[in-house]
Structure 1
Amino acid sequence: MDDKCIMENLLLTTKGVCDLYMHGTIESSTQNVHQTFDQALNDSLCMQDDIYKKMSAKGWYTMEQAEQEKIQKVKNKFAGM
Structure 2
Amino acid sequence: MNDQELLEDILLTVKGAADLYLHATIEASTPNVKNTFHDVLHETLKCQCDIYNKMAEKGWYPQEQAQQQQIDKVKQQYSGQ
TM-score by length of 2: 0.85
The residue that corresponds to 2:25 in the other structure is 25
- 1:16 match: 16
TM-superposed CA distance for 1:20, in Å, is: 0.6
Does residue 49 of the first structure (1) align with residue 80 of the second (2)? no
1:66 is aligned to 2:66: yes
User: Where does structure 1 lack aligned partners over 5 or more consecutive residues?
Assistant: none
User: How high is the TM-score relative to the length of structure 1?
Assistant: 0.85
The 2-side partners of 1:50 and 1:71 are apart by 25
One-letter identity of the residue aligned with 2:23: H
CA distance in 2, matches of 1:46, 1:77: 29
Task: Say which is worse superposed, 20-29 or 49-58, in terms of deviation.
Answer: 49-58
CA root-mean-square deviation:
1.6
Distance 1:35 1:77 in 2: 33
Change in Cα spacing, 1:78 to 1:40, as seen in structure 2 (3 Å) is: closer
How many residue pairs were aligned? 81
Alpha-carbon separation, structure 1, partners of 2:43 and 2:71? 32
